[in-house]
Amino acid sequence: MLRNTVKSTATSAAARHFSSTSRKGMKVLCVLYPDPVDGFPPHYLRESVPDISKYPDGQTAPNPKAIDFTPGHLLGSVSGELGLRKFLEANGHELVVTSDKEGPNSVFEQELPTADVVISQPFWPAYLDADRISRAKNLKLALTAGIGSDHVDLDAANKAGITVAEVTYSNSNSVAEHTVMMILGLVRNYIPSHKWATEKRGWNIADCVAQSYDVEGMDVGVIAAGRIGLRVLRLMKPFDVNLHYYDSRRLPAEVEKELNLTYHDSPQDLARSVDVLSLHCPLHPKTHNMVNAELLSQMRKGAYIINTARGALCVRDDIAKSLEDGHLGGYAGDVWYPQPPPADHPWRTMPRNGMTPHISGTSLSAQARYAAGTREILENFFNNDPIRDVYLIAQGGQLAGVGAKSYTVEKGKASPGSHKA
Ligand code: NAD
């Protein structure tokens, strides 16, 4: 039977209190995606995953004091519990893990008012809007097991003095690999060709190749060249494409030279200049709906868009219309708004789409890193030690750490993407 909620059996009854040295008796409310429909644990194809100890810029991978899980196992769904239960209960904390996150009677809503820590994942976001934050009177830490904290209303979190943190870099390279796969899949017409061979049992070469091209020689650009965007540029270089980017912060000159990059000073200028446009900025007020009918109309006919960043960077119906009108060549991605999307979401059925559920950052390899990073952040939080600056999005009532570099907040306004549409 599928489990959607797991609670501590030996709930700590210790009073919730602060001490100058450590935090005790905390309630941790963790929202994870549901277990596989085929049951848990699943069958694993491989016996291990490579151990990555350092990221390309030298940042060390998460280094908690210990882990209580096997890297390569499914940790991101309810029964996987991010490998946290033993650690939390041994230290007198309470853990509630659930996938039931919507509606007033959901486990999430019921447990939220007494939670000290909420852990959520972008793949199955527990939206923390101002209303929910106002009812979460004990909440001190909103922790994203992954990257991207747009599901939290950052203005409301700042007003309530809630720390927001995420496991920066844990799945950036995972997403970049997925993006390259999607670029090649769209341009080379992989998915429809696969369907001809398997579902339709055909040998329809002409049907397959009538919309298939090489990426070699194309103009490929990214909006935002942060950890993921820069990795995509680096991975695409060996395909002998012309590389372009736009970012509000320009890359060092030596990186531009190394990759022979063309910098554009606006998303519009970039969009006009490329055959493939890949989105890699966080969702915040300045990026919300940045890909709209006006920008799409300026793109080359037959251009492709890849979006592994956030669904609400794009105007949903403008994307579908541009594909239906035959202007966009294709659209692929794994991010939607809201998540999960309703059954009638147009991106499920629009022409030439290569959509998947939100999976690029939650490969088994990535899960080992973000589970370890979640534990590292919790260890620091419980011990009242500083959380790594690079993991912080907001702290002490304002954007902090990596959040101060990549996000914006409009005071008095909800963060786009922080409540279920
Ligand atoms: P990052 O912080 O390293 O990079 C973000 C970049 O965006 C920075 O270079 C920043 O300057 C740029 N940026 C911010 N606002 C901008 C604006 N208005 N215009 C242009 N550039 C802007 O983060 P990252 O690790 O590269 O992740 C980027 C985003 O990807 C995350 O915030 C998240 O939304 C998404 N993501 C998705 C998945 C997934 O599974 N699909 C996983 C991880 C991250």
Summarize pLDDT for 122-172 with one digit per residue, the tens.
999 999 999 999 999 999 999 999 999 999 999 999 999 999 999 999 999
pLDDT, position 9: 55
Average pLDDT score, the chain: 95
What is the position in ligand 1's atom list of the atom closest to the CA of 406?
A: 14
**17 tagged catalytic:** no
**201-222 pLDDT tens trace:** 999 999 999 999 999 999 999 9
Contact (CB, 8 A) for 298 and 271: yes
pTM comes to: 0.95
The answer on whether 84 is annotated among ligand-binding residues is no
Q: Indicate the domain borders of the chain.
A: 8-170+362-399, 172-348
Rounded distance from Cα 309 to ligand 1 centre (Å) = 7
The answer on whether 212 is annotated among ligand-binding residues is no
Contact (CB, 8 A) for 124 and 99: yes
* Percent above pLDDT 90 for the chain: 93
Q: Is 280 in the pocket of ligand 1 (CB under 6 A)?
A: yes
158, 307, 339, 353: which one is catalytic? 339
195-200 own/partner pairs: CB under 8 Å, 24+ apart: none
Q: Is 121 in the pocket of ligand 1 (CB under 6 A)?
A: no
Superfamily of domain 172-348: NAD(P)-binding Rossmann-like Domain (3.40.50.720)
Q: Give the residue-averaged pLDDT of 240-261.
A: 98
Reply yes or no on whether the pLDDT at 8 is more than 90. Answer: no
172-348 has the same fold as 8-170+362-399: yes
Class of domain 8-170+362-399: alpha beta
The pair of three-digit structure tokens given for residue 92, joined into one six-digit string: 């007198």
**220-230 pLDDT tens trace:** 999 999 999 99
Residue 85 CA to residue 4 CA, distance in Å, equals 16
pLDDT, position 267: 98
128-133 own/partner pairs: CB under 8 Å, 24+ apart: 128/152, 128/153, 128/156, 128/157, 128/418, 129/153, 129/156, 129/414, 129/418, 129/419, 130/155, 130/156, 130/414, 130/418, 131/419, 133/157, 133/160, 133/162
Q: Is 312 in the pocket of ligand 1 (CB under 6 A)?
A: no
